[in-house]
Amino acid sequence: MPYLTIALPKGKLFAKSVELLAKVGYSADNVVEDSRKLVITNEVSKVKFIIVKTMDLPTYVEYGAADIGIIGKDVLLEEKKDIYELLDMKYGKCRLMVAVPKAKKRAKLTDYAHLRVATKYPNCASEFFNKAGMQMTIIKLNGSIELAPIVGLSEMIVDIVETGTTLKENNLEEIAVVQPATARLIANKVSFKLQFNRIKKLVEDLQKVMVEENIK
């Protein structure tokens, strides 16, 4: 039996992903987020785990370096890779949204046209504002997006939020939702055909666990 290589994302989805996969028989010793081992193998169940940065994960799956992976819908929308999306895992609920400083809030979204937007999600942001008929200057950042309007780099931000606490702490207010997001199971298109039965069973087993744990 060939190995099934699973890409796991660093960050907030990691622990729950490892937990659910273990419940359906996909585990290995020392699958921890800060593992020094780049590839963690279980010789018995023929599974390999690789732990990668979230934005890189769809690329690993698209090119077949990983057969399957778990990643947030927000990253899938941003990266637009040629993969199969197999299952909405329902956890890791958050949303991609637009926020502005409270003091600079305006009556409606289109009142913000022609401003600068700081974001880690330039593709999603551009698509959202284009649909609203708004021309914006999109500034791509990798670090703390909330800092941009505070120091005058941008007038607004597009970022991912879970509770909105960080927004409040920085006197920012959400004015629009771009896209809700949850964890998704994705597969390489060739791997999906070559290991169809194994991947199909994995999906079905995960669905059963989700029902048992009332993940919805």
- Domain residue ranges in the chain: 4-92+182-212, 94-180
Class of domain 94-180: alpha beta
96 within 8 A of 129, measured Cβ to Cβ:
no
CATH code of the region 4-92+182-212: 3.40.190.10
Share the mean pLDDT of the chain. Answer: 94
Has this prediction a pTM greater than 0.85? Answer: yes
Does 36 score more than 90 pLDDT? Answer: no
Distance CA 144, CA 154 (A): 13
Question: pLDDT class for 157, splitting at 50, 70, 90?
Answer: very high
The reply to whether 94-180 shares the fold of 4-92+182-212 is yes
